[in-house]
Amino acid sequence: MKIKNILSPAVVTTSLKSTTKEGVISELLDLLVSAKLVTDRDAVLSALMDRERKMSTGIQHGVAIPHGKTAAVKNLVACIGIKKDGVDFASLDGEPSRIFIMTLSPLDRVGPHVQFLAEVSMVIKTEEARERLLNAKTAQEVLAVFGI
């Protein structure tokens, strides 16, 4: 699993507008729908929100990784959004989330999802990488942080 095979400028935004968890998830999902990577928006939104109700996907250091499994994708898909002001995502450290990396994977596949998250985690674990993401003005600048 290579990040560069999953992410492209079409699925990256540096200007999320929503101020709620639900709104951010919906905006991120719209990126995947616009890129024609999701076949059933409503089913995916339902899966993502069900996952959030079980346990927040806000981790720490201003990062949230909303994710879900769904029949509406054939392969792992992902997108990235930045919201400089931050949104309360009920993160483990209590801080607002500002970097959002959403992944969706097919119901019957586990490996690619775990591998993708491992690769992403290696990048975002450093404060320097997170700062570069927050300062990115374009999708290309975001992708460059991931070596794309």
Give the catalytic positions in this structure: 67
β partners of residue 12: 80
Distance CA 115, CA 20 (A): 28
Coil, strand or helix at 114: helix
DSSP the chain: --GGGT--GGGEES-----SHHHHHHHHHHHHHHTT--S-HHHHHHHHHHHHHHS--B-STTEE--EEE-TT-SS-EEEEEEEEEEE----TTSPPEEEEEEEEE-TT--HHHHHHHHHHHHHHTSHHHHHHHHH--SHHHHHHHTT-
